[in-house]
Amino acid sequence: HREEYSFDSLSKMSSQFAHALEGMGVQFRERVAIMLDPSIEFYVSVFGAMKMGAVAVPCYSQFGSEALEHRLKDSNAKVLIITDEHRKMVPAWPHLTVITVGPAFQNLLKNESDQYETKTVAKDVAVYQYTSGTTRKFPEAIKHYHRSIVTIMPAAIFGRGLRPGDRYFCPSTPTWGHGLWHGTLSPLALGIAVGAYSGKFDIEVFLKGLEEFEIDNLGAAPTVYRMMKNSGLVGKFNLKIKKMHYTGEPMDTDTFQFLKETFGVPPHSGYGSTEAGALILSLIHI
């Protein structure tokens, strides 16, 4: 099913969450972990934490207990937002407040003000984005600062071709770098509505979404583009894609040619920018 939220409603709910965190005793620069699929609760938690000056720690919803425990321990998280389904894997730490989505999450917001005055500055840390762990023994937290949204704008404008009025979609989960920075934060900063895919990926549902939302700017991993090619379904949908980019891995020649011939434009590469870009963003904050 589809859900739509306005900038205004997200802003108000994230302000309520920021007040709720303060009410729980969360302090400036303390960490708030969020282990959820893309959802209104995910975005409210991330933006609410950043608003009050806490540090958002997005965690992939398919993590096992060891992966989650490492991130909670390493970040010294004070709060964790999670589903009932995954609640059982959370260690029983006295310093960790666990909030499950559903009635408990809604009750947390309902009596709070929907206006919040932020006190953060450019050099404050906004997000701990953990690496995949494939290039080092343990995943490492890359610190992203509030200023990082400015330093990523050249990539958004010139690499992704984002422009006001774009119908933009990125199916990459916002718990990883591409989905969070290139799929969510940078387009929102430009006033561009964003899309997110939640749940088990289905190429036909994905293509239907591209048609229904009239997406004209698409950013995805090459695997998604290959699935589009191999599905044989692209011609059954009225797709209006005018701009494409990819990252995370190289793209094979057959997929590249298919996209170019089908949509009349070539996909643009951001390959190699995910982890290296995270490191650059962590350095360019002064």
Structure tokens belonging to residue 92: 């029983």
Residue 202, C-beta contacts closer than 8 angstroms, at least 6 positions apart: none
pTM of the full structure: 0.88
* pLDDT confidence bin for 2, thresholds 50/70/90: confident
**CB neighbourhood size of 284 (10 A):** 13
Nearest to 52 by CA among 79, 20, 77, 76: 20
Lowest mean pLDDT among 53-57, 163-167, 195-199, 251-255: 195-199
H/E stretch holding 145: strand 141-145
Residues 233-281: pLDDT tens digits?
999 999 999 999 998 888 999 999 999 999 999 999 886 544 444 434 4
